[in-house]
Chains A and B, each alone.
Chain A
């Protein structure tokens, strides 16, 4: 290496990503950009539970040269591809209509943060489309590359694994696409194809398998789950002086409450969990929790439609067994994509349930007449609108709060103003992040769709710059120190994101803020918040 380095020489790595056609750039597996493959014992359980949805189980690592694909891997993928084209109009249309206008290119947080061209949604989809053309269209078969087609090689499978597990299915690109092409849909198809040849990741399948077996994604057994709830009730009593009720697996109540189980063991979700317990106790809701259906989140959404249906089916099964009238769902992102867009179609009609009616205000939730399932912020905002809660927002006065819209409630549901209304009722200081980074245009936490694992931290920080940049802006300008969310994955992914891009901002669930402000009947003068930190004025 020469001593006197000139800028041009420093810039040699300029061409690290070659200016070659993307089809000629092989995938490269660098630390921090891919997730660990699923453990064989997990796959074995799942394959048995699903009667063969997870074939070709083996030990392998993406950095291996030989991925030990099954011998007939080409046929498996081709057959699977054809089947999915016939099952989904979305898939078929999205394979045909893209004009590569580039409107989506700079909408992906991974592309914005890292600049890898294959993270442009259009190219991510071309990874599949090129095979579609090469295998299923006449022009592609004859013209080959001239028609944008290519052959199905082992490198293609590797590329799929790398880039379809670098998509968080956040759908930000689909918002800007003139034809509504939804990369999440394409990513789902690609992941299903990868399952056919035994390529999948552990961070998705272990939670999916746990949810199936134990009801929650962490594999907690029922007695431990219940024990944890009792422990939370003790904590609540210590803080408020009120012993809250904690009904679990009980029959004959009006409402079943289901929330993501990540919130029971992992801080800061635990405080949100305590928030639910306090709120429901205070309003005297006739409800029950369930350990069998203790997982609201659905890692099946990141796996396959069959796994999603299987996991989701527990909710109605449990509602039926317990004989409730309707279900309330807690704060979770992708859970609400499943509930809003898939649940009734997959496991309905839920004719044994009723249209949800708030027992406190009498409000009828017609928009949930089919699924009989309402979002907790729909429920709470209604309580607040009718003045049914006694609130002391000054208990949150040490917080300057901003709200992170989670991708799925924003772009697969449109739940935007309900959480804001709730927050503004319990916090005196609320500011919005810049317009292009919230509501339907919200930036992903870069850990959605089952990518919130620690080995993926590098990519998560890289992709987190969109959210981090906006967060740091309001932190510097308005002194924001609290980031509220309505998603359990956010509560897991945003603390490290904030720690890196906007150190000093803490992550809260909306119902933790509610519980802080909630004045409970018979409570003792509160000195600390749910985190056992002194309340403002009590330091």
Chain B
């Protein structure tokens, strides 16, 4: 049900683009003004969100330690799972952001049976390995696709981009040559979607907000692929639009570009405008997670809590002794004040 709502929503967006840019001929609106608006919403929304997060302080250092802490020199310190310095924490974060280290933790091979038990040793993997793999395929292909698109905004196209494109079409399948990243992106999204349908626990926790971005990205990928391989689009005309987009030049006249292009651009616009208000903000949040981005060093050096309340004080020793003085003296425990002294203070 949740998935259907999301699917319909994405279909509706496609229809809007088809009708708007196709039938109604509002190319200017869909090619320039909506993308501008989307980028503006994205920038403002993203910055606002990150500032919102940053405004809340990190009162305590609460890293989740995932290995041996720094201890005696003769105990091996698990530097990148339990960092003690900023540099080590940086490596931990890099592993987390670039290689999805925590998801990879699920990847441990499970050994079933052993030679001693007289059973063949079998290796099995926990299901989360798939999650790690799908996530990796998805995010990296998305990144490559994203970088590749910069050829539309840069003139002349930098050689690094050309090299990336060359690598991406390395397999030389079809004409124009297939971008592997595009195929991988569609595959990655489909796998992540499939996982939400198939694994009951995950289906149970999935909300429309989980399906919607997946369908939306799938729509973006498919419309892009469609444009490149089937509904061949005039790339020069497109570049004219995109250059206008980036030079903030509304005067450009848009014509001779197929409607698929506008569907593609509209879906992308929706995606970037939606991003700051959705779970997709995990791309920013992952850097701010206090259980990952702090060293485990709060025993070594002092950290300040900005809202520390100095009025929260221990039940004082004096009050404690007052309550139990007699019994303490009787038991032979040292006290600060004798009974007579205490009586005197009280009398005052």
Contacts and interface: CB of A to CB of B under 8 A. Distances in A.
Nearest to A92: B56
A250 B332 CA distance: 11
Contacts of B149: none
Main SS of chain A's interface residues? Answer: helix
Contact of B285 (A88, A93, A313, A371): A93
B5 A146 contact: yes
A370 B302 contact: yes
B64 A174 contact: yes
A306 B52 CA distance: 25
A22 B78 contact: no
Nearest to B75: A417
A106 B286 CA distance: 22
Nearest to B306: A87
B147 to A, nearest CB: 22
B220 to A, nearest CB: 18
Contacts of A91: 56
Interface in A365-422: 366-371, 373, 378, 381-382, 385, 410-418, 421
A345 B302 contact: yes
B57 interface: yes
Interface stretch (B29-37, B235-243, B253-261, B289-297): B289-297
Given A99-B279, A370-B299, A345 B334 contact: no
A96 B58 CA distance: 16
B204 interface: yes
B66 interface: yes
A105 B202 contact: yes
B67 A416 contact: yes
B312 A313 contact: yes
Contact of A180 (B61, B64, B199): B64
A440 interface: yes
Interface in B119-160: 128, 131, 135
Contacts of B281: 96-97
Interface in A184-240: 185, 212-215, 221-223, 226-227
Main SS of chain B's interface residues? Answer: loop
A345 B298 contact: yes
B201 A345 contact: no
Interface string B273-314: 000011101100110111110001111111111011100111
Interface stretch (A119-127, A153-161, A460-468, A513-521): A119-127
Contact of B286 (A97, A101, A349): A97
A314 interface: yes
B331 A226 contact: yes
B265 to A, nearest CB: 23
A222 B327 CA distance: 7
A364 to B, nearest CB: 11
A362 to B, nearest CB: 13
A291 B328 CA distance: 10
Contacts of A139: 277-278
Contacts of A182: 62, 64, 291
A117 to B, nearest CB: 6
Given A97-B282, A344-B302, A310 B312 contact: yes
Nearest to A377: B71
A244 interface: no
A499 interface: no
Contacts of B55: 86
Interface residues of A, number: 106
Interface stretch (A73-81, A278-286, A334-342, A530-538): A334-342
B208 A146 contact: yes
B65 interface: yes
B62 A102 contact: no
Contact of B64 (A106, A368, A411): A411
Contacts of A113: none
Interface in A41-94: 49-50, 85-94
Given A102-B202, A318-B317, A414-B78, A223 B333 contact: yes
Contacts of A179: 282, 285-286, 289, 292
A318 B320 CA distance: 12
Interface stretch (B14-22, B98-106, B175-183): B98-106
B315 A49 contact: yes
A374 to B, nearest CB: 9
Contact of B205 (A122, A311, A342): A122
Given A22-B205, A87-B59, 20 more contacts: A92-B56, A96-B281, A99-B282, A102-B205, A103-B102, A117-B205, A147-B209, A175-B66, A176-B106, A178-B96, A212-B315, A311-B314, A340-B299, A373-B299, A385-B72, A412-B65, A414-B67, A414-B78, A415-B69, A440-B81
Interface of B: 5, 49, 52-72, 74-76, 78, 81-82, 84, 96, 100, 102-103, 105-106, 108, 110, 128, 131, 135, 199, 201-202, 204-210, 277-279, 281-282, 285-286, 288-292, 296-305, 307-309, 312-317, 320-321, 323-324, 327-328, 330-334
29 contacts: A87-B307, A90-B291, A96-B285, A97-B281, A97-B286, A99-B282, A102-B131, A102-B202, A105-B205, A117-B204, A122-B205, A138-B277, A174-B64, A177-B102, A179-B292, A180-B96, A182-B62, A222-B328, A249-B333, A291-B333, A306-B309, A309-B312, A346-B305, A385-B72, A412-B62, A414-B66, A414-B69, A416-B69, A417-B68
Interface of A: 22, 49-50, 85-94, 96-103, 105-106, 117, 120, 122-123, 126, 137-139, 146-148, 171, 174-182, 185, 212-215, 221-223, 226-227, 248-251, 291-292, 305-306, 309-311, 313-314, 317-318, 321, 339-342, 344-346, 348-349, 363, 366-371, 373, 378, 381-382, 385, 410-418, 421, 435-436, 439-441
